[in-house]
Chains A and B, each alone.
Chain A
């Protein structure tokens, strides 16, 4: 067959070319390519470093904390400024501020991550259905999204609290998760609308792929990149929200070492010069949120298709 002869010739030629090549071409998936670009982005590396730092602190809390954050109460040593005995000072009950901040990382991270997972699930479902099926489904889902987007967080938190009678961290997962999915839904929907029209989606239909296959195998994998960015920024936002919801008394309850609660407790003493009760929790929040934000923006730059 002429065709097969041709292809054998081409193979021979390629083998020759291979011998002349100095480098070995390693196959790279888009994921590896993205990771490579990410590793060159200083902002992202810094953000990632901060995130890993906070995660490690949270994991190794029992090892790192000098005292127990809740149980160690020493009224005699209350309101001690930062020094040898208490590295970051002690609070009004004599509890070590440093230990409380270290354990507080667990709470913040947990709220940040779990709430975001809830938001992610709801958001992806809404966004994909709206973006893929369009027309009245799109209209309906997007109007629901608009309502949720505009819904005041505090009101919802209070309502949830009424249901559960006592506020707790679990409620925060629900509040932040059920209200925080709108950005992701919109993002996913926008991606679906764009990718749906791309030729490789049409090609999938042409070979007989059904809706489910097209959604999960073709469209979703290609729209996740901006979703990752939104997720990291969402986690940062959730951590901040936890802080002020707890500050308002709608989240973590004393004696939990939530950073927000510590801010609440510490704010009264700020004027009296006992700065360490509020400043350090505040710094902790800032560092964590900054880490996630930086990584998110760095990631966004790394996946920017301008290099493709």
Chain B
């Protein structure tokens, strides 16, 4: 069985890049016809995004409904097959792996789901649910497996004696902890957390956020944290990427993004979050119109129909992602490139 504890990474990440996503695209075909269906269009859910995540880092991914963030998370794990692009995990392009190789890799890349009620099989005990990865990958058997599951129950803050209980006997927050335990049991290096606290009560959210944070420190985990709640994402992430309609519009360190966001959408997004305080009367940028559907995205810059700073070029040409300062990249025509040309995020 593999080592339980990895070396503590403290706050500085090894500069090793764990995940490198290049030009990831996922198009969902829209079909017509019952017996012989043909394609009449595409939902461009994810349309060419690039980013890297360093070992031990947490990258937050935010955006509103239809932006493609959940699709991105699942595509990285190949739970949804990407339409095109490259995904390098530990230097290896995982899109070239076959079914068997991918299966082995799944020990290293795990996911925590949003819905604590739907993500656990109601007919399995939590011991079976958490222990299943060990069974599938033949990592532990019988007594050893039970021991490991109980170990994990303790780590996530649950009573190990409850190993034979069923999911419906637990509260939402506890079920989410079970989901976390399941993701941890195979000693993964990388975890995609897809809205892990959105479905929880406010008083429980802090518990799970803290748990994820502590686990990261203890086991040296790398997270892709997908959420729509900006306050939560900013808190837990080292860097944050903002998506809009399948495209990455801005990516920067958490603090920098909040203080000096350059993309009009990011600015509007942050200003729209209501602050629980009276003194903080921020000037709100209210966007007109609705979030458009990804079936027929606008031409040029996808944000242009709602952008308060729209220019002619925005309607015609798609902006390239440019470096604004260290660790801060934006895709917007308002930015005159400071370092010239394309740069990697």
Contact = CB atoms under 8 A, between A and B. Distances in A.
A and B touch in the complex (CB under 8 A): yes
B32 interface: no
B137 interface: yes
A200 B121 contact: yes
The majority secondary structure among interface residues of chain B is loop
Nearest to A14: B159
Contacts, number: 90
A205 interface: yes
Given A28-B166, A202-B79, A10 B107 contact: no
Contacts of B168: 30, 33, 308
Nearest to B132: A207
B182 A4 contact: no
Interface string B159-186: 1000011101100000000010010001
B218 interface: yes
B155 interface: yes
A273 interface: no
Given A3-B215, A200-B119, A221-B123, A209 B132 contact: yes
Given A200-B120, A206-B106, A209-B132, A28 B155 contact: no
Nearest to A3: B214
A206 B111 CA distance: 7
B123 A30 contact: yes
B35 interface: yes
Contact of B136 (A207, A221, A222): A207
Nearest to A211: B99
A200 to B, nearest CB: 4
Contact of A222 (B121, B133, B156): B121
A19 to B, nearest CB: 14
Interface residues of A, number: 34
Contacts of A203: 111, 113, 119-121, 179, 182
A203 B160 CA distance: 22
A7 B125 CA distance: 21
A139 interface: yes
A7 B119 contact: no
Contact of B182 (A1, A29, A33, A207): A207
A198 B166 CA distance: 18
A217 B136 CA distance: 12
Nearest to A207: B133
Contacts of B218: 1, 3
Contacts of A166: none
The majority secondary structure among interface residues of chain A is helix
A176 B138 CA distance: 44
B119 A199 contact: yes
A27 interface: yes
Contacts of A118: none
A208 interface: yes
Contacts of B164: 27
B115 interface: yes
A30 B132 contact: no
Interface string A248-278: 0000000000000000000000000000000
B257 to A, nearest CB: 28
B115 A199 contact: yes
Given A30-B166, A139-B35, A7 B107 contact: no
Given A200-B118, A206-B111, A27 B166 contact: yes
Nearest to B106: A208
Given A203-B120, A308-B168, 4 more contacts: A3-B155, A28-B166, A199-B113, A210-B103
15 contacts: A2-B214, A7-B154, A14-B159, A27-B165, A30-B122, A30-B168, A33-B168, A139-B35, A199-B113, A199-B119, A203-B113, A207-B133, A207-B136, A208-B137, A222-B122
Interface of B: 35, 74, 77, 79, 103-104, 106-107, 110-111, 113-115, 118-125, 132-133, 136-137, 154-157, 159, 164-166, 168-169, 179, 182, 186, 211, 214-215, 218
Interface of A: 1-4, 6-7, 10-11, 14, 25, 27-30, 33, 139, 198-200, 202-210, 213, 217-218, 221-222, 308
